[in-house]
Structure 1
């Protein structure tokens, strides 16, 4: 396994991903499955969050119970496809802060172009999970992480549904300190920058656009 790359092999994740890949999967079903996989990936990416003990009263006696330590983390979906992963993550972490990164891929150059950015004022003091279903060329992922590092963020993790080997290599060439969590690493990119075998354009399939 590539350093900093974590592939979630849980059977439920793999089963749901297989359903999403089918061309016949309707938009509503695609969104539901993506949200469910995002929730399952949330377990994986937050497995090592620090805990601290706090005093509580059970119905029978007092005890020291574990709770998450430190500031609540930030979920940062890359618009627009990353929004499909947000609700699944928030279902487990409803108190998380949410940042938004607006990027689109120039069809001629495949480079990422930013059009919107909004994050909590103290984002530099929090763990940031950048969410985007596809790590293809990785230009958008690199640009999103660049933006958070420019704000002083030191602890960043990237979470996606699918990755291509080229995208993983390009991403870690720019950000070797940022680990990647994904449900699968597919064969390769095609000439148009799409992941093969992949599942098509996640944003279009999610929202019923072309």
Structure 2
């Protein structure tokens, strides 16, 4: 598994604004969109392309276009849905699937409650969106699910990660080839498995449910 923290002044600035407790949900959504656009620019660097002959107003030339099959973007419900606009703004021709996964807060087991994906992902480059890599269980389960459907390449985009989550993810995905792009790696998980200093519950803050 390859882990890349994307370092850029704009990412650092926007992430700081995102973390602020006083940031309202409408601002939180827009900052998330902007951050994902910046992260997805880096994460899509290995996306498959092919040459294409085109006519400009001046001459013919060989350009570049995304190759088939189209990339597939898979937000993990519900918080990953808040990252979708930023990703599709950068890769508008991508197809979109959904995985609904939740963590049991008592047992920390992962429950898959919804799935809408193509039956066969052979040859597909799949981008998984999940804001917080905390314990690593949800993302690991999603990766195994996608690999079982024959995904050719899996790239995960998260806003924040805890060191414990990264290590657990390494252990759980084993020899599955995975790329992980992050805005930051935080200090640790607390006793409730929340990232510290983190930004709270991303889903609640995206959709105006934060206390």
TM-score range, shorter chain: over 0.9
| 1:155 Cα deviation from its structure 2 partner | 1.0
Structure 1: stretches of 5+ with no match in the other structure: none
| 1:51 Cα deviation from its structure 2 partner | 2.6
| 1:150 Cα deviation from its structure 2 partner | 1.8
Alignment partner of 1:40 out of 31, 38, 41? 38
- Deviation above 3 Å: which 4+ runs of structure 1? none
Can you list the C-alpha shifts for 1:64-121, whole angstroms capped at 9, x where unaligned?
1122223110000000000011001111111111110001110101221110011123
- 2:186, 2:163 → 1: CA distance? 7
Aligned to 2:161: 163
Normalising by structure 1, what TM-score? 0.95
Secondary structure of 1:82's partner? helix
Can you list the C-alpha shifts for 1:142-195, whole angstroms capped at 9, x where unaligned?
111111112122311111000000000000111142121100000000000000
Alignment partner of 2:171 out of 164, 173, 182? 173
| Preserved contact between residue 120 and residue 149 of structure 2 (Cα < 8 Å) | no
- 1:55, 1:158 → 2: CA distance? 32
Query: Number of residue pairs matched?
Result: 208
Secondary structure of 2:41's partner? helix
Name which of structure 1's ranges 21-30 and 50-59 shifts more when overlaid on structure 2: 50-59
| Preserved contact between residue 39 and residue 89 of structure 1 (Cα < 8 Å) | yes
Superposed counterparts of 1:119-198, under 5 Å: 119-176=117-174, 177-198=177-198
Structure 2: stretches of 5+ with no match in the other structure: none
| Preserved contact between residue 73 and residue 126 of structure 2 (Cα < 8 Å) | yes
Name which of structure 1's ranges 67-76 and 155-164 shifts more when overlaid on structure 2: 67-76
Q: Do residues 54 (structure 1) and 52 (structure 2) align?
A: yes
| Preserved contact between residue 103 and residue 115 of structure 1 (Cα < 8 Å) | yes
Superposed counterparts of 1:2-151, under 5 Å: 4-151=2-149
CA RMSD of aligned residues (A): 1.2
